[in-house]
Structures are given as structure tokens and as C-alpha cells.
Chain A
């Protein structure tokens, strides 16, 4: 467990080196936040009522928490593991005394931490300064919301990890990565809240792991989901986190048996 924490801190420090990149990310997230907030507020004015349980302050919370968590949760995936599988460097990871999945998860949690502090929170504060935002309605919402954010990072990581491991069997996984990114981007609740979807699309989203990566923590933090519903929102996330982590272990083992590394 101490190794895990050391790796988390290493991930945090590794990504905190690029201060200018954090500032740049925050700026871009904020510009998109302004645009998205304008669109959704216009839609609410046009509907003259709340849509899917979102009124104006909770919609603003949806937009800015979404922008804040965008850099935190690794929605767009990563290529590091895929590249290492392809080059054979993954063999080195197998030799280390910690399971590769845990090692990469630790690194990703560290990355998430610095991105939340350096890029997400400033964007959120800017949004809160310029718009009327709904803050989490209770201490429970704050605390469980924070847990939910961590779970979202884990779900997004473990899903992407499985996708990366497919490189053991496929020469080029770009098509699959793209498909994952596009479906994920749409269904996770980044562009629009999942409750705004027409029924059939919402059903598809709810059976997928994607809302667990963004919509669920946002719902808790924006105060759209309160009381007992908070528990079920988190339970769904735990389910996907455990399932995808286990799947990752199975695929990793199968890949390890398949791996052939040349040279001495």
C-alpha cells in the first residue's frame, strides 16, 4: 500500500511540472464552459421551465463541474500502455514487484489530483464568480461527491486500460479507441446532461459505464441527486469500477501469456 501511495505522489509530481500546460488547459476549459453555459441557459429560457430536473443554477453547476472534471477524469484515454505493449516494454512492467494495473492506476490518480487542483478548481471558481451556481446542498453531498469523483477517475482509467491492452492482440487499436472516445464523450454527460436525452438514448447510456465517469459525480455535486439516490448513484460507480478492474486483470493475464519479447 505504501508503494501505491508513492506512485500516486509520483504521478502528481510528474504532471505538476508543466505549469503552463495546466494554465492553458484551464483557459480552454473555461472558454468552453462559457459557450456551453450560454447554450444551456438559452435552452432553459426557451423551455421556460427546468429540463430533466435541471434548473438554471444546477445547469450552471453541471457545466462548470463538467469542465472542472474534464481534465481530472481521463475521458479521452491514454496511449502509454498501448505503446509499451507494442514496443515490448510492458515486459519490464511485468518484472516489477507491483501489478502493472495498480501501478498505472496509482499514476493516473496522481495525474487526476494535480489536474483537479491546478486546472479544474480554478475553472470552477471562475464559473462560480461569473454565474449563479448551485453548490452541493449538504455536507453529505460534498463528501460523497468527492468519493464519487475518485470513483469516476477509477472507472475511466480501468475502461481505458482494457482498451489499451487490446494491443496484445491487434496491431492497430486506433479505431477502437476512437469509437470509445466518441460514444464515451456523448454518453458520459459532458456535452449535455444525460437526463436531457430522449428515452432510448438515456437507456443506452444508463446501461453503459460512461455516466459513471462524469454524470454521476456531477449529479451529486450539483445537487440534482439527493438523499437515498446518492447511494444508488455511487453504487453504480462501484459496480463499474470493480467490474472493469477485474476485467483488466483477466485481460492482462491473458495478454501476458500471449506476449513474446525478442532479444536478450
Chain B
């Protein structure tokens, strides 16, 4: 038992070293690092401003009041910025593919996907992450939450599964990039579009769109569905309270599809030649 644990930690060691070096590298240019963090704080605040301006005009949106909408905003932004920090740079894959840099990853003795994931750790996303954390604290403390151990567990489960869902979307997008190359923007529709949809009350969407964001690209599970359970809201047919506990299942489903896309993509890849 002790043996297998040692070997696991040994096997993970290269990744730890890689990630630590990426993080250190980014903090070398202090001024540029601070600017980048302020930049992502700005992005987070601009996203928040959108929610805030709408509630300046209306009291309820899609059955949610401002506090509930803030919770949905916070949960989705928290999960998204975590996923973005660790795997968001898979977005850069078309650039690597065109420059022939993917071949360089292939000759190294680690799996391609984990190498790409650890090829960067976008520390600057901490800015947006902190906006989400503040929003979450404010939403949970001002909202009427009947606290219980189950609720705490649900929140932790939501953030973990939510990040996994977004990470799966980035990975699926990465796999498709091997086919798309010039059309790389296609996948923005469900990565960044998914994030935009996730931070809304799902009740704003017409039926087909709601089914899409729940069962096809399951971003409804990132924030809205759990928020219904956390705040004990009535919910509706497509978002009953018990559904919140299915969030890990949605993450599994998303990863199943992501794995498939990634396999197809890497099998299709023939190398840059030359």
C-alpha cells in the first residue's frame, strides 16, 4: 500500500515540477504579472456589471432575485476560472498545431494531454477567481440559506464537478481542433458560450435551448441546478431540487464525450511533416 502511494507520488512528480516552474516563470516579471491579474479582475467585474445592470432594471430574472442570481454568477465563474486556469490554454492548440509544436510534445515521455495541460498554469486567472469568491461569499451570507452538512457538501461537490465540466469542454474543444485548425472559433460556441449560458437562470431559455444546456452541453449543472437546491427554491420540471446531486454524473458524461473527442483528434493527427 505504502509502495503504491510512493510510486503514484513519484509518477506525479514531473507534473508538479512542471507546474511549479510555470508558476514561478510568470511571477518573474512582477509588473506584468500584476497588470495581468488586474486585467482578469476587470473581466470578472465586467461580467458582474452585466448581471448588476439587468437587476438595476428588473427585480426578478428567470425566477431569481438578485441574491440568487449572484449565487449562480459566483458558482459558474468560480468553476470556469478554475478550469480556465488549469486547462484554458488548450485553446492555444491550433497555434501549436500550425507551428508544428505538437510534434515536440509527442517525443517526450509523458501523455500528450497531461503535458499540454501542465504546459501552462495561467496564474493571472486568479484575478477573476477572486471576484467569483467574493461574489460567492456575499451571495451565501446575504441569501436565505438553511445551512446543513448536506448543503456544505453540495457546494463543494458543485465547485469540483463544475470545474470538471468546464475542463471537459476545453478538452473536447482541444480534440476537435485537430480537425478544425482554421475554424478553431467553432468550439468557442460551447466553451465560452457554455460559460455565458451557465451563469444565467436556465428559466430564461426557451425549451429546446434549455434541454441543450442541460443534456447535451451540461452547463446548467454548473450553477443554476445546484443553486435551486442550495437556496431551497421551488425549481421546475427541468430543474427539481434532487437534480443538484446529479452534478457529478453530468461531469462524468462530459468527460466521456471529452475523452472521445480527444482520442478522435489525436488519432486523426498526422504530424506537421518536415
Contact = CB atoms under 8 A, between A and B. Distances in A.
A232 interface: no
A164 to B, nearest CB: 17
Interface stretch (A72-80, A89-97, A178-186, A244-252): A178-186
Contacts of B23: none
Instruction: Determine the interface band of chain B, counting residues with CB < 8 A from chain A.
Output: 35 or more
B185 A21 contact: yes
Contacts of A28: 185-186, 188-189, 192-193
B245 interface: no
B185 A25 contact: yes
Contact of A196 (B46, B56, B189, B197): B56
Interface string B178-198: 001011111011101100110
Interface string A47-76: 100011000000000000000000000000
Contacts of A197: 53, 56
Contacts, number: 109
Interface in B54-106: 54, 56-62
Nearest to B38: A175
A43 B54 contact: yes
From A28, A51, A198, residue with most partner B Cβ within 10 Å: A28
Contacts of A35: 193, 196-197, 200, 205, 209
Nearest to B47: A191
A51 B204 contact: no
Interface residues of A, number: 35
Interface string A185-225: 11000011000111001000000000000000000000000
A228 interface: no
Contact of A32 (B36, B49, B193, B204): B193
A243 interface: no
A174 B192 CA distance: 22
B217 to A, nearest CB: 10
Given A175-B38, A185-B46, A196 B185 contact: no
Contacts of B56: 196-198
Given A24-B185, A198-B53, A38 B209 contact: yes
Contacts of B182: 18, 20-21, 24
Nearest to A119: B185
Nearest to B49: A186
Nearest to B193: A31
B183 A21 contact: yes
Contact of B209 (A34, A172, A179): A34
Interface string A39-50: 101110011000
Nearest to B208: A34
A47 B62 CA distance: 11
8 contacts: A27-B185, A31-B189, A34-B209, A38-B200, A39-B204, A43-B58, A51-B58, A175-B32
Interface of A: 18, 20-21, 23-25, 27-28, 31-32, 34-35, 38-39, 41-43, 46-47, 51-52, 172, 174-175, 178-179, 182, 185-186, 191-192, 196-198, 201
